[in-house]
Amino acid sequence: MKNWFKELLLDIYQVTSTLFKIMIPTLLVVKLLEEMGGVELIAWVLGPVMAFVGLPESMGLVWATTLLTNIYTGMIIFFNVAQSESLTVAQVTVVGTMMLVAHTLPIEARIAQKAGVRLGVTLLIRLSSALLLGFMLHHLYAWGGWLQQPNQLLWSPSVIDSSLQAWLVSQVQSLGMILLIISLLLTTLKLLRLLHIERLLHWLLQPVLRLLGIGPTATTITIVGFTLGLAFGGGLLIKEAKAGHVPYRDVFSAMTLLALCHSVIEDTLLILLLGADISGILWMRLLFGFLVVALVSRLMNRSSEQFHRRYLVREPEAAKP
């Protein structure tokens, strides 16, 4: 038992320290960009693009905020902007789905890079997928005349303290929560392995994951990221990739799936509060994500390892001396 606890503490330290080394500098850089008007600049670029998915230019600010920061901050901006817009449920579903597919990119793309996926590929997959899925939903809802009724907000934010001190306190609390969740998560995973329940999960889910091109070594990590979030699944994947336990093909397929579909419970519930319809933010997103991963996995099987190493993957950074 003593060795079991020592291994557990070491695992917790390795995963959290890796995540914190990525998150803390990135949070500081993003905050600096916010203060210098970086969000408004990105929103200015994205404004005209919003017409491509049937949205007013003001939604560019919502998505730009979400891309740089997180879904919570994007929701606050959405609430402020939506009051001056006449949005339909279809439009809110489109922007909500785009927020779910592409958000918190400075941190989450860096986590994927640390696991071994090239940064440019991650950004390309998430941004192009968000726009493509948004485009498809916009035309699908317009074609069928679905969800064209005026949107009703189900949530309004409380008064937000925008001071630097409040931001620092919020970030410390978030990092503390990550430490707690990682500790509970790794403890649970070790217990599942001890009781051989992990093998049962692998057996039950392997047929589905095999269709997506994700091998058994990445099954548990994929489940974690799928349900809890990319940071947690990605953090575990970095650790396993560093140890050489997960083949690079599985790393790429798993991170592609988590890039498009992660934290499917919490994040989906958050976007529902904006008035979005579950058909787009959950079911269409899952279907789209599964199809993309299945296609990517098969394309990898048809291309050379030299191509993979040059354009898609790299040695996990944590594994470098």
The distance from CA 215 to its chain's CA centroid, rounded to whole angstroms, is 21
The answer on pLDDT for 320 being more than 60 is no
For 265-284, what is each residue's pLDDT tens digit? 889 999 999 999 999 999 99
pLDDT, tens digit, 9 for 90 and up, residues 279-318: 999 999 999 999 999 999 999 989 999 999 999 998 765 4
Which of 317, 68, 109 shows the shortest CA–CA distance to 231?
Answer: 109
State residue 83's pLDDT score. 82
| Cα within 13 Å of Cα(155), Cβ side | 16
Amino acid in the structure at residue 239: K
The first and second tokens of residue 292, run together, are 């993309």
Q: How far apart are CA 72 and CA 81, in angstroms?
A: 14
- C-alpha 254/C-alpha 18 separation (Å) is 19
Residues 278, 318: contact at Cβ < 8 Å?
no
Kindly tell me if the per-residue pLDDT of 149 is higher than 70.
yes
Q: What is the mean pLDDT of residues 221-230?
A: 85
pLDDT digits (tens, 9 = 90+) for 87-100: 999 999 999 999 99
Q: Give the separation between CA 241 and CA 316, rounded to whole angstroms.
A: 7
pLDDT: which is higher, 33 or 162: 33
